[in-house]
Amino acid sequence: EVQLLESGGGLMQPGGSLRLSCATSGYSFSSYAMSWVRQAPGKGLEWVSALDSRGATTHYADSVRGRFTISRDISRSTLYLQMTSLRAEDTATYYCTRDEETDSGLVVTRHDYWGQGVLVTVSS
Amino acid sequence: EIVMTQSPATLSVSLGERATLSCRASQNVDSLLAWYQQKPGQSPRLLIHDASTRATGIPARFSGSGSGTEFTLTISGLQSEDFAVYYCQQYRHWTPTFGQGTRVEIK
């Protein structure tokens, strides 16, 4: 059974930093791309960042580029999101998702499995 | 950025009836479109990918159609567990983008 379990959320002050983790199991972590998708309270879904299966190619939404860094540890089957210079508008539930990848290694952001989400609140 | 527009915002449907949800893309996304279902307090779940392919374990009453810029999700014979918010998402272009969602409620 594919499982994704996020952790690391909490209450942060504006300008602060936080690292989210997503521990995975039930499939070959090194064979799939991954993404982070967020949802502000009572709002819709917003894709944040994606990473290919090798951890070589990253993609970011304009709203987080330069502040967030996505990475993965294949030995731990874990995805990370390092968040810096946090803003109030980053307040959201953050989901990690499993994505597809083409034979040539291009990320396909078709999110077939989702974690339960972790809440990040940025407030003074 | 591709803008995804869903209609209607809210759809009131009786149990057993058919629900038709629409999604329009501001540019051609070919068939690289997915539909997700989200129930209150839960994570989204993939229903349809590549515009018309049901994801693993999704009942046959869910069907998707369309290509290019116009897409439809049809739920035939609504059951109580189908009342939720539905999102479309294009993954043809970077940045992947979601629609604002359609809430399906009990009439």
Q: Which residues contact A23 (CB under 8 A, 6 or more apart)?
A: A4, A5, A7, A76, A77, A78
Residue A114 carries which side chain, given as an amino acid letter?
W
The minimal CB distance from A45 to the residues B44, B45, B46 is found for: B44
Higher pLDDT, A95 or A103: A95
In the DSSP assignment, the letter for residue A88 is G
Q: How far apart are CA B31 and CA B71, in angstroms?
A: 9
pLDDT value of position A104: 87
Q: How far apart are CA B65 and CA B88, in angstroms?
A: 12
Q: How far apart are CA A14 and CA A4, in angstroms?
A: 28
The minimal CB distance from B49 to the residues A47, A62, A110 is found for: A110
Report pLDDT digits (tens) over A26-57: 999 999 999 999 999 999 999 999 999 999 99
Answer yes or no: is pLDDT of A5 > 90.
Answer: yes
A99 and A32 in contact (C-beta within 8 Å)? yes
Q: For residue B93, what are its two tokens?
A: 């272009």
Q: Degrees (nearest 5) of the Cα angle B91, B98, A77?
A: 65
| Cβ neighbours of A50 in B, within 8 Å | 96
The minimal CB distance from A117 to the residues B43, B46, B100 is found for: B43
Residue A40 carries which side chain, given as an amino acid letter?
A
> What pLDDT band is residue A123 in, cutting at 50, 70 and 90?
very high
Report pLDDT digits (tens) over A51-98: 999 999 999 999 999 999 999 999 999 999 999 999 999 999 999 999
Instruction: Tell me which residue of B63, B64, B83, B79 sits closest to B12, measured CA to CA.
Output: B83
The minimal CB distance from B94 to the residues A46, A59, A114 is found for: A59
| Cβ neighbours of A95 in B, within 8 Å | 43-44
pLDDT value of position B76: 95
SS3 assignment, position A67: coil
Residue in the block written with tokens 């989210």: A20
pLDDT value of position A57: 94
What's the burial of A100, exposed, middle or buried (CB within 10 Å: 0-12/13-18/19+)?
middle
pLDDT value of position A105: 84
| Cβ neighbours of A32 in B, within 8 Å | none
- Interface with chain B: mutation pick from A109, A116, A119, highest number of B CBs within 10 Å: A109
A73 and A23 in contact (C-beta within 8 Å)? no
Q: Which residues contact B2 (CB under 8 A, 6 or more apart)?
A: B25, B26, B27, B29, B90, B92, B93, B95, B97
Yes or no, beta carbons of A45 and B91 under 8 Å apart: no
Q: How far apart are CA B100 and CA A78, in angstroms?
A: 30
Q: How far apart are CA A73 and CA A79, in angstroms?
A: 6
Q: Which residue of B has its CA nearest to A93?
A: B43
Q: Which residue of B has its CA nearest to A65?
A: B95
Measured from the Cβ of residue A72, the count of other Cβ atoms closer than 10 Å reads: 21
> What pLDDT band is residue A14 in, cutting at 50, 70 and 90?
very high
Mean pLDDT by 10 residues, chain B (107 residues): 97 96 98 97 97 97 98 96 97 96 95
